[in-house]
Amino acid sequence: MNKFMIKPEIIFGEDSLNYLKDIKYNRFLIITDKSMVQLKLVDKITEKLPKDSKIKIFSEVEPNPTVDVVEKGVKELFFFQPQCIIALGGGSSIDACKGILYFGNKFFENLGKSNKNIEFIAIPTTSGTGSEVTSYSVITKGNSKIVLAYDEMLPKIALLNPGFMKTLPKKIIADTGIDVLTHGMEAYVSKNRNPFTNSMALEAIKLVSKNLLEHFENPKDLIPRENIQYASCLAGIAFNNSSLGINHSIAHSLGAKFHISHGRSNGIVMPYIIDVNDQGEEFYVEIADVLGLPGRTPKEKRQALKIYVEILKEKLEIPKSLKELGVDFEEFKKLLPEILKDIKNDICTVYNPNSLNDEEYISLLLKIYFGE
């Protein structure tokens, strides 16, 4: 028996923040990062909330949120006791918020209480992770990433506003945009795929192919900006139901150990995964056909898709390899056993089309390092 879930409620459009005006709460905890405060993007939220509201801003989230940040957030949750919690920012802020809510609930349960009635609103300021529509959260502990997957971490409301993406740096547009493509690809070839996830993943891939470069070059243009936001959301709903694969398992580990942004890690890894996943070839061929890529045989079409991704990465100024990124080889070699352990323990690995042994993983990781 299969299941497909479409949640949360999605509010979208240039005027979507007006939803906050009529919200039936008066105690709000906003989870965000310091840049959102400095850029006064938090003000865009607080000015829409009911006038008599009591608002607490927790702005200690950093890229790749850590267990320490989550623990601090749980304390804020406990002492402030909000009716509504709002995550504002990229995937890191939303993931941190999910972790705070999840572990906060465990803390409350130990006290014989519950915080499950807290309204959770996710407002993404980048288009990449799709975290606003998923029950996944990635938290960093030391040099490893912990992937959490619990339905109770799914936001109740996803509030999409393209205005936040208008002034994003090109590097962030590139990293988050390639992340959307990775989500679409992995959802489409996942062992847990189904007709519902397929349609959403494929539509996300098409939207990325038609809009990402234009959004990268002209971030103030509304149409490509909105379309990439829709793609991110669609891909998020798809992989929340189908799961992902080793592209993410590897990127999780590399990102934690070498302090690489999640999207950039995924982008570096992606072509090598297309190459190794021959068990998913028929689905890669379907993607290649939708993108109008050439090839007389399935293998040629899969190769064309790999080349397409490599060309896209080059145009987005994403490095081809870890070596090109500047990762020290001796450090990489020393951490290989830990990376391998991380990959094998990552929940995403279960749904990858191919099952790799240790020797195959080491070979793949060396290709990712050297760009071969």
20 & 160 share domain: yes
In a domain, 65, yes or no: yes
- Of the candidates 142, 164, 186, which is a domain's last residue? 164
194 & 160 share domain: no
- Of the candidates 130, 164, 198, which is a domain's last residue? 164
In a domain, 159, yes or no: yes
In a domain, 326, yes or no: yes
In a domain, 259, yes or no: yes
For residue 160, the one-letter residue type is L
Q: What pLDDT, on a 0 to 100 scale, did the predictor assign at position 115? A: 66
Assign residue 206 the CATH number of its domain.
1.20.1090.10
Instruction: List, in order, residues 6 or more apart from 3 with CB less than 8 Å away.
Output: 241
Domain that holds residue 226: 170-370
Give ∠ CA 101-68-57 in degrees, rounded to 5. 55
Specify the number of domains making up the chain. 2
98 & 14 share domain: yes
In a domain, 109, yes or no: yes
99 & 118 share domain: yes
Q: What pLDDT, on a 0 to 100 scale, did the predictor assign at position 356? A: 98
In a domain, 235, yes or no: yes
Residues β-bridged to residue 158? 10, 122
The tens place of each residue's pLDDT in the chain, 372 residues long, gives 787 878 899 999 999 999 999 999 999 999 999 999 999 999 999 999 999 999 999 999 998 899 999 999 999 999 999 999 999 999 999 999 999 999 998 877 777 776 668 999 999 999 999 999 999 999 998 888 888 989 889 999 999 999 999 999 999 999 999 999 999 999 999 999 999 999 999 999 999 999 999 999 999 999 999 999 999 999 999 999 999 999 999 999 999 999 999 999 999 999 999 999 999 999 999 999 999 999 999 999 999 999 999 999 999 999 999 999 999 999 999 999 999 999 999 999 999 999 999 999 999 999 999 998
In a domain, 3, yes or no: no
For the whole model, what pTM was predicted?
Answer: 0.94
217 & 175 share domain: yes
Assign residue 52 the CATH number of its domain.
3.40.50.1970
Q: Cis peptide before 8, with omega less than 30 degrees from 0? A: yes
241 & 276 share domain: yes
